[in-house]
Structure formats: C-alpha cells, structure tokens
Chain A
Amino acid sequence: MNVLLFILQKEFRQIFRDRTILAMMFAVPIIQLIILPLAANFEIKNINVAFVDHDHSTYSRKLVDKIGSSGYFRIVDNSSSYTEALKLIEKSEADVVFEIPAGFERNLVREGSQQVNISLDAINGTKSSIGGGYLTAVLADFSGSLAMNAKIISTGASMQATIIDVTYSDWFNPRKEYKYYMVPGILVLLLTLIGGFITALNIVSEKEIGTIEQINVTPMKKWQFILGKLIPFWIVGMIVFTVGLITMYVIYGILPQGNIALLYLFAAVYLVALLGFGLLISTFSDSQLQAMFIAFFFMMIFMLMSGFFTSIDSMPGWAKQMSNLTPVTHFIKVVRLIVLKGSELAHVKMELLYITLFAIGLNGLAILNYKKTT
C-alpha cells in the first residue's frame, strides 16, 4: 500500500507542475460547456424561401403572408420566374423555391383543389424534410381557414365528416427547449475527451522521456503502476464533472431531476472505464503523436456512434451493436435519463452493468498489456 502512496505523490506533483495541462483539464472544458450549447443547435428555423407567384391574386398574396409570418420562414425574394429563383438556391441564398401557378385562386374556388410546386435544396436532408413538413402544415392550415371562411358565408351547408381530434402533451420538457437535451450530452463528451486524451498521453510521455525504465526496475507491481496512473486522473475527472454540473445549473438552470448520488455512482464507474481505455492506448503506442492519433481515431468513432449527434434507433442493426460496444453511448444515455427525467437505479441497472464490465475489461487489458520490460 505504501508503494501506491508514493506513486500517487509523484503523479500529483507532475500534474500540478504543468500549468498548460492544468488549464486544459479545468478551464477549457468549462469554457466549452458554456459556449458549445449556443452553437450546437439542431433546431431548424429561418428557412429561406424564394416565392415565384404567377397568380398575383388575393389568395396567393395571403398564402405568401401566411408562410412569411409562420415564424419558420424568411422570405428572401419574390422572383418573377423559376429559373431566377433557382439561381438563389444555387448561390445558397434560398433553401426552398415556392411556386404558385397562374390560376391558383380561380382553380381553388371553382374546382376545390390546386397544386403548388415546392422545390427544396435537399443536400441537407434534415433541413429539407423539416422545411417541407412545416410548409405542408402551413398549407393545410391555410386551406382549413379558407374552408372555415367559406362555411361562415354559406351557412347551413356544413359537412358531415368524421373527425379524429389529436391532442398531445410533451413530457419532461414541455417548452421543448433544445438546451436541456444538449447540455448534459456535451458535459459527457468533454469529460470523455479530457479523460481519454490526457491518460493516453501519460504513459507514452514516460516512454519518450525514458523515465519508464526507472519505473520498470523498481519492485513496483504492474497493477500498482496502473492504479497509480489512474487514481489522480480519476480525482481530476470527478472534479471536472462536479464543476460541469455546477456550470450547468448556474448558466443553463438545469438541475438534475434524479438522484445526484446515482449520477455520481455512474460517473465514478464510467471514469474508471474511460481512463482504462486511455491507459490501454498509452501502453500500445511508441510516441505521443501516435497515442494522440489513435486516441483521436477511437474517440471520434465513439462520439459519432454515441447517439449524441444522431438517433441510435434509426441506425441499422450492426451499427446499433457497435454503438452498444462503446461506453460513451451508455453514459450519455444515463446522464440524460437521470438529469432530464429523474430515472432511478431500477430503470438504469442494465447500463450500470455495461459500464462496470467496460471498466473491468479495459483496465484488465491495460494491466496485461503493460510490460515491465522494454
């Protein structure tokens, strides 16, 4: 036990000696946690529409006004022809061309139906599908209000239709504020980046400087060495996590709905797993550059597959399996569940099992792979 204490003392001294690393560990994640949610916003607003109105009637003008005032769209131009409007899309100044054909009002009144043309810039799939959805909704609303007006004028001719009313309620986040979803996820990503990179660089830098040989000739056991590397960064990670939670509350007003102790239990086990992963990379690499690149490679896959950027449900089967095999996925899920919905241990026990298995497996491999010979 005494041996371990000495290693810990050495590691802590090394951490506190290097001011840049200290700043990287504490200041950078907190600044990013404050800034990133402002930038990382998937909400689709301000879709630029170019109108081509061939009809110039009261109805067509009303429709243009209605779309413009719906809050999602910004009218960039009233072009005289489709080709002209298409130019705007090519220049990326417009996202949608909305074309109202001649005879729009006449056909609506006489024949009861009329087509309009919507051309979307579909390179950005999310934007085009959500934009198309919004437009369709506004159109349905518009024809509904026309029908209402007509009904009021010609009273008595009411329709005998069967109608299913849909009511809906949004739980856990009734105002649908995006930051509630993003901020906890960003906290996890930052913790992962810091923990993963700094431990990955750690043993390798001893190799590069040559001090690893001095350690190798001491009677220190392998597990003592790994544990000595792990504990200091674990403590740093827990502090970063705590400061992150406080920042989350102070800046964004997000208070965990669930049990804080449960959140910390998960963070504690997750950090062990993550640091084990960093150490494993470190034992494999020969230079800091190599360690950095290998860490970056895996971190990027972990982050992309974690469900932070896209939904895991819509992934194909093999990708879902792969996503399950990364610890980040489980921790992001749990943090969101506990912080946003107040889930309890019974709800997330499987997640705890997964993360614990990762912790044991990754650290076991790191100990096995660390050889005391060079």
Chain B
Amino acid sequence: MKQLLAFIRKEFYHVFRDKRTLLILFGLPVVQIALFGFALSSEVKNIGIAVFDHAHDVTSQQIIQRVRTSSYFEVKDPVINYDEIEERFKEGSIKCALIFPPNFAEDLGRSGRAQVQIITDASDPNTATIVVNYLGAILASYQHQLNPTIQIPYQIIPQVRQLYNEEQNGSLNFIPGVIALIFMIVSTALTSVSVVREKETGTMEILLVSPFKPIMVLVAKTVPYLVLSIINLIIILLLSVFLLGVEIRGSLILLFAESILFIITCLSLGLLISNNTNSQKTAMLISMMGMMLPTLLLTGFMFPLENMPWIFQAVSHILPSRYYYIIIKAVMLKGLGFSYVWKETLILAGMAVFLLTVALKKFKTTL
C-alpha cells in the first residue's frame, strides 16, 4: 500500500510539472462552458434583411416597422433593384429580401388581396426555412390586425409547453456533451500518452524491474487522471449552475457515480491505446483524432443521431460516450432516477470491465 502511494505521488509530480498542459486542462472546460453558454446558440437571430419596396405606402411601411422591431431581423439599407439583391447576397451581408409590389396598399384595399415576395439565400438551408417561417408569422399577425372583426372558423390554438427547459436555455443540450468530451480528453488522451512516454524515454524498463507489481504500475498511472477528471466535473457543474443558471434536477450522488463509471471506461480505453502503441505521436493521433471526432459527431449532442445513415447509428452503439450522454441528460436535466438508466449503466459497466480486462491482459511485463 505504501508502495502504491509512492507511485501515485510520482505520477502526480509528472502531471503538475507540466504547467501549460495543466492550465489548458482546466481552461478547456471553462472556455467551452462560456462559449456554449454565451456565444453559441442554435437559435437564429439578427438575420440581415433588405427591403425592396416598390409601393412606399403606409401598409408596406407598417409591415417593415414590424420586421424592424422583431429581434429576429436586422433591417439593412433598402435596395432598389433585383441585381442589388444578388450583389448583397454575394457579399454575404443579407440572408433574405422582402419585396413589395407597386400599389400594395391599393390592391389590398380594393380587391382585398395583395402579394409580397420573399427571396431567401438558401445556400444556408436552415436559415432560409426559419426566415420564411418568421416573416410568415409577422405577415400573418399583421393580416390578423387588418381583419379584427372576422372570426376565423375552426381555429385550433396550440398551447405549447417546453418541458425541462421553460426558459429555453440553449446551452442545456451542450453541457452533457461538453462533460463527455472533457473526460475523453483528460482520461483517454492523457493516460494513453503518459504510459507511452515512459516507454519512449526508457523509464518503463526501470518500473518493470522494480519489485512492484506491473498491474499496480497501471493503477498508479490512472489515479491522477481520475482525480483531474473529477475536479473538472465539479468545475463544469459549478459553472453551469452559477454561470449559466442550469438547474440540476436529479441526484448528485447518482450523477457522480455514473460519471466515475464513465471516467473508468475512458481510462481503460486510454490504457488499451497506450499498450498498443510505441510513440507519443501515434497515441495522441489515435486518441485525439480517432476518438474525439466520433465523440463529437456520433454521441448525439451536436447532430441528431436519428437522421444519420444506419451505419453511423450502428457505430454509435459501440461508443461509451453515447450511453453516458443519455444517462447524464436523464439524471441531470430531467431529474430521473436510477430505474430509468439502469440499462445504459449496465452497458457502460460492461464496456468498462471488457476494456479494462483487455488492457491488463495486453500489458506486456517484458520489453
């Protein structure tokens, strides 16, 4: 036991010696939470719009005023012909144009019907769809104001409730993803590099000839990263609660227990990588490029999994982060208990045991 403690102390020295890497390790979650919380949002606001008003009458001006007051749009200088619209699109300064035909108000008054045209820059398809929806809603509400007396028959009024996220906090979806990503970096990448470095510098030989059990060498290697990961988890949770105002609905104990299970899975993965590689560069490329991208793409926190081709969905089932993401979303954001996530927990535990066994089996006690 005393030996093990001495070894763990040695590993901590290694970690604390490299101040810059340590700084990045703790800076990474802080910056990610800040960016996802304050800078990045999936909603679309301040869409650049140019108005091409042939009519110049009261009605068109009233509609433009409505567009102007909406936070979704930022009305840019008006345009005077179609070529100018195209020019603006090509500069990228506007995303859509609203066109009023001549005699807009007159047509509306006399025949009760008038047309407006919306041109969108569909090179960004999502924004184009959203623009049409938003402008359609503004025009519909204006139209409703024009016809106050007429009762529209068969009106279905949707009462919309936003479950788990009444304030529509956009960062909610990202936090579990950020946590999973940080664990992958700290646990998998750093562990894999730390074992390989001993091989590269030749100190592994010294460790192996010492009277210390080889398995204990690996255990001692993982402890500092387990501690670092837990500290990072605490930082992320504190930041999300106090900075972003996210409410942790479920049990903290369950949250930490599940997180530790996932960290152990990541650590085992790191050990497995390090046992099969011989240079820091290869270990880094496998753990950063090879594991990071699937974690980002196939966990479901950036892109919806159900739209992907079946092969990606199949691959996502073998990623530990997928299950951890489901668990943490259920426990932290929805406030559900263990009975809802036992299946995912079991799969994750199975993966951890499997990876750890293979990693220990593969660990060579000779050079």
Contacts and interface: CB of A to CB of B under 8 A. Distances in A.
Contact of A92 (B165, B168, B326): B326
B41 A297 contact: no
Given A167-B115, A285-B20, A336-B123, A150 B89 contact: no
Contacts of B31: 297, 301
B223 to A, nearest CB: 19
B214 interface: no
Contact of A165 (B32, B114, B173, B334): B114
Nearest to B300: A124
A42 B122 contact: no
Given A116-B157, A143-B155, A288 B293 contact: no
A45 B135 CA distance: 22
A57 interface: no
Nearest to A43: B307
Interface in B103-131: 108, 112-129
A126 B27 CA distance: 28
A64 interface: no
Contacts of A168: 117-120, 132
A173 interface: yes
B32 A119 contact: no
Contact of B163 (A120, A137, A316): A120
B164 interface: yes
Residue from A137, A309, A315 whose CB has the most chain B CB atoms within 10 Å: A315
Residue from B39, B161, B307 whose CB has the most chain A CB atoms within 10 Å: B39
B257 interface: no
Interface stretch (A7-15, A127-135, A245-253, A271-279): A127-135
Nearest to B112: A162
A162 B146 contact: yes
Interface of A: 20, 24, 28, 32, 36, 38-46, 63, 89-92, 108-109, 112-129, 132-133, 135-137, 139-140, 142-143, 146-147, 150, 159-174, 176-178, 180-181, 201, 205, 285-290, 292-294, 296-297, 300-301, 304-305, 309-311, 313-316, 319, 322-323, 333, 336-337, 340-344, 347-348
Interface of B: 18, 20-21, 24-25, 27-28, 31-32, 35-36, 38-48, 74, 86-87, 89-92, 95, 108, 112-129, 132-133, 135-136, 139, 142-143, 146-147, 150-166, 168-170, 172-173, 185, 193, 197, 280-282, 284-285, 288-289, 293, 297-298, 302-304, 306-309, 312, 326, 329-330, 333-334, 336, 340
